[in-house]
Chains A and B, each alone.
Chain A
Amino acid sequence: MCYFLVMKIAIAQFSPVLGNLKKNLTHHLELVKKAREQRADLLVFPELSLTGYTLKDLIPEMAISLKCSDIFSALVEASTNIDLVVGFVEEKRDNPGIFYNSAAYLARGKVLHVHRKVFLPTSGMFEEGKFFAAGKDFRSFSSGWTKTGLLICRDFLHYCSSYCLFADGAGLIITISAAPGRGVSDQESQGFETSRMWELMGEAISFFSSAFVVYCNRVGVEDGATFAGGSFIYSPFGKLVTRLPYLDEAFLVQEIDLEEIRRARKSWPFRRDDRPEVIWQSLEKIIRKNNED
């Protein structure tokens, strides 16, 4: 067992061009270069980083199939010497016309994992369910560093999503986000009130999963909505490792010691004592009962 395993994580808190894949790809590749110069092992982009967020009827035009997109191939190729997490609109070749809000983990020139957003916010200012199909699972995967899970924005606010990744052994939970800010009454904060709920979840999930939580949120203004920024990393002890500025574009490379996962789990055996089969049986009973007439 290695006792000091440092991983350098870069977070690109930026503002994509809405509905322009080529311009966004160019910007992604520039940031990959920058991250590599700073010897980052992983670079995380925000939700829908290749397309921008408020797409509406542009979604079909922005859709990418993993297997036959030049744009995506360029990113996969760029992942030869650095791991990447990117956000994009996905359309599977064998299931045309169905669009997902997806995140991919690319490493060593390969697609290691794709997560399709499960919880599509569709109320108030949000209308994702009108345009996207919902993903169907939460799975961890082996990135070569540690067991890792991907979530997209609202997924993270449903704590069961993180629980699934935890139950599946994730030591690193990465959430990519395009969260617009709301609420400006807090006199002390430099950011929107809604930034607090992400931090609250980040702190709780990291501590109770004994896992690193990386949250990359975008910035910029689209159709009047201002994305809040405030990306962060929490340690497996629930401590804030770093937080990027609210509202402003930022790029940061942060070292984390993956051995912290082991240390946290020695102190707090939440993972050892987890009983997913009991949760599963309980859920099954609840679901069955609630579906009875």
Chain B
Amino acid sequence: MTAITADPVGATTVSTKPFKVIRHSAALAKRSLLKTMRTPEALLDVTLQPVIFLLLFTYVFGGAIAGSQKTYLQYLLPGILAQTIAMSATAIGVNMNTDISKGVFDRFRSLPIARSAPLVGAVLADFVRYALVAVITLTVGYAMGFRIHTNPLEAGAALLIAVAFALAMSWVSVFLGMVARTPGAVQGIMILVVLPLSFGSNTFVQTGTLPGWLQGFVKVNPITHLAGVSRGLFLGGPVADHMLWTFVWIIGLTAVFMPLALRAYGRKV
């Protein structure tokens, strides 16, 4: 146990076995989930928030915007669902920044684990958030009268595309988590990004009702396209154009922010 001997042969045999990475990532994902269970208030953005949006917009604005609450709920829910999943990626950057500032990250780094394990673990744990959004929003939506007009397969595809977008957003969040000074700063910057994207989209109202200059923004906004895909896959109708632009955004965000995030992460690790 305490033998301290130089091992000149073992020099290059650094073990990077994939199953070891998975095991360590799973252990760290379990940690994130334990933390989440201890602090349920950290889940408000994926639990209470979509429900409040659904109730508020359907019953307060539904009649004014779409003529009837029922019609509006059908329009609103796929958009809320997709954007809530996409935006729940904010948490990963906040959490990683917290780990760094608390010194927990240093503890992990001083262990003989893969450098990627803390990052992969955090991403894995986020899938629980995505699942929560889907279950809660759909359950409440169904109780309010929302109905899927296509089939479970297409509805599932809508959720997967939203998760893919969330993963792309995770890179933005991780990058901010690595370079921002405090967890509060990460949260603040992400809200500045997320709010205009959420409301400056066709999630709540149809693009045609907006002033021309705003339509320009809404039409390039990735959330518009994500909500469009989601609506198409839940309710039927053409999705190809929105799908194309959603994937362009996913690839674009990943291409820009993944290298930035990994470089910033590598500097910390």
A, B from the same assembly: no
Identify the B interface with A (CB < 8 A).
none
